[in-house]
């Protein structure tokens, strides 16, 4: 395990013992699957750590930028391979999009994605607008959409030029899979729409504060009291840093430990581990509120 504080004034022990909830990335952190998010396999230490956190009473959620499934379907896929989590402990960009759309008054959305993205919006009462012709909508939301066509592009651009806000599930180029780095679609799709319309895309998934605040509300804690665990400095580490949460990097995904150490200090994780098993003795129990030196005990 490698542990490093990016800020010499930060006490890593204090930060670890201040954690009141954990947000895990999925691909490259808890599991690896194929480029279509199927064939998921737990990574070493993932089942043990999440079970230990549950036993200790420290709440956790999983937040993936994937939209090939609904949050409930992702949760079921994780349960099938041994993870113990309820449906509401699984978050996707659709989850945070619902929160954001309802808060901002968006009542209709042109969705460039499948049912994994559409269904949560539909259940929340957001009208799903088909990408055909010259549609009107409050929002355009892009997710996993490899079947994207020129007709989709034209319809989305007309919606944006007509006043729709452009949202992306993710702006990352790659995600981790068992086959290596796999190319996402949200960024490419939104790049085309932005180029044509001149609008700036807003992100509802990671690394947005919209996404992290959604996770914090699910856990019932303040964003700063979270530990965010993931493999991507541009996603989980950036999201944690923006909210002053604890950023914990794992090297089981798309980057090695060397990559994290070469980042500028303000982008570097507070802690880098070679696998989730390394965190078993570091994160506190729900009833632990004092440092080990103050209560004479160590994390269980």
Residue 52 sits in a domain whose CATH number is 3.40.50.1000
Domain C-terminal end among 177, 203, 229: 203
Residue 300 lies in a domain: no
pLDDT single digits (tens) 185-212: 899 999 999 999 999 999 999 999 999 9
3-class DSSP state of 195: helix
Do 85 and 97 lie in one domain? The reply is no
Three-state DSSP at 35 gives: coil
Q: Is residue 261 part of a domain?
A: yes
pLDDT band per the 50, 70, 90 thresholds, residue 35:
low
CA distance 35 to 176: 8
Q: Give ∠ CA 101-103-109 in degrees, rounded to 5.
A: 15
Asked whether the beta carbons of 50 and 27 are under 8 A apart, the reply is no
Q: Is residue 280 domain-shared with residue 139, that is, in the same domain? A: no
Q: What is the largest CA-CA distance in the chain?
A: 68
| pTM of this structure | 0.87
Do 81 and 214 share a domain, yes or no? yes
Do 78 and 118 have their domain in common?
Answer: no
Residues 28 and 127 in one domain: no
Could you say which of 167, 186, 203 is where a domain stops? 203
Token digits for 42? 């737990």
Q: Which of 203, 232, 250 is the last residue of a domain?
A: 203
Radius of gyration of the chain (CA): 19
Do 215 and 187 fall into the same domain? no
Range of the domain at 167: 93-203
In the chain, the percentage of residues whose pLDDT exceeds 90 is 73
33 and 172 belong to one structural domain: no
State the total domains in the chain.
2
212 and 87 assigned to the same domain: yes
Q: Is residue 144 included in any domain, yes or no? A: yes
In whole angstroms, give the CA distance from residue 133 to residue 295.
66
Residue whose entry in the numeric block shows the structure tokens 């085309």: 192
Strands 139-142 and 165-168: parallel
The answer to whether residue 192 sits within a structural domain is yes
SS3 229: strand
- Quote the mean pLDDT of the chain: 88
Domain co-membership, 113 together with 191: yes
Helical residues (DSSP H) of the chain, grouped into ranges: 12-17, 46-56, 71-80, 93-104, 115-123, 150-161, 186-197, 209-219, 238-243, 257-261, 292-295
Q: Label each residue of 267-288 as H, E or C.
A: HCCCEEECCHHHHCCCCCCCCC
- Is the model's pLDDT at 249 over the cut of 90? yes
157 shares a domain with 21: no
pLDDT in tens, 63-84: 999 999 999 999 999 999 999 9
Structure tokens at 100: 């954001």
Share of the chain above pLDDT 70, in %: 86
pLDDT band at 214 (very low <50, low <70, confident <90, very high): very high
Residues 84 and 105 reside in one and the same domain = no
Residue 247 has pLDDT above 70, yes or no: yes
Give the pLDDT band (50/70/90) at residue 253.
Answer: confident
How high is the pLDDT of residue 290? Answer: 41
| Residue 149 within any structural domain of the chain | yes
The reported pLDDT for the residue numbered 266 is 79
Domain membership flag for residue 222: yes
d(CA 189, CA 185): 6
Q: Indicate if 79 and 219 belong to the same structural domain.
A: yes
Could you tell me if residue 152 is inside a domain?
yes
Helix axes 186-197, 150-161, angle to 10 degrees: 50
Domain annotation covers residue 111: yes
Written as six digits, the tokens of 35 are 């480029």
3-state secondary structure of 161: helix
């Amino acid at each position: 395990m490698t542990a490093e504080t990016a800020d010499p004034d930060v006490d890593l022990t204090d930060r670890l013992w201040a954690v009141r909830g954990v947000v895990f990335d999925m691909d490259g952190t808890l599991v690896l699957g194929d480029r279509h998010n199927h064939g998921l396999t737990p990574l070493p230490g993932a089942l043990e750590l999440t079970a230990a956190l549950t036993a200790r009473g420290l709440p956790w959620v999983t937040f993936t930028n994937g939209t090939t499934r609904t949050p409930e379907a992702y949760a079921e896929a994780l349960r099938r391979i041994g993870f113990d989590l309820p449906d509401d402990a699984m978050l996707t960009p659709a989850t945070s999009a619902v929160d954001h759309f309802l808060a901002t008054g968006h009542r209709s959305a042109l969705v460039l994605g499948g049912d994994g993205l559409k269904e949560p919006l539909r259940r929340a009462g957001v009208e799903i607008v088909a990408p055909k012709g010259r549609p009107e909508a409050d929002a355009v939301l892009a997710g996993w959409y490899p079947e994207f066509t020129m007709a989709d592009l034209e319809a989305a651009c007309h919606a944006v030029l007509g006043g729709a806000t452009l949202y992306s599930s993710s702006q990352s180029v790659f995600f981790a899979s068992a086959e290596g780095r796999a190319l996402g679609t949200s960024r490419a799709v939104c790049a085309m729409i932005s180029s044509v319309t001149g609008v700036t895309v807003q992100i509802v998934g990671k690394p947005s504060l919209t996404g992290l605040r959604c996770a914090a509300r699910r856990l019932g804690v303040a964003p700063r009291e979270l530990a965010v665990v993931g493999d991507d400095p541009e996603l989980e580490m950036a999201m944690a840093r923006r909210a002053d949460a604890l950023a914990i990097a794992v090297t089981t995904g798309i980057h090695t430990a060397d990559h994290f150490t070469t980042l500028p200090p303000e982008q570097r994780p507070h802690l880098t581990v070679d696998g989730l098993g390394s965190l078993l003795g570091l994160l506190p129990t729900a009833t632990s509120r004092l440092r080990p030196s103050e209560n004479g005990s160590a994390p269980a």
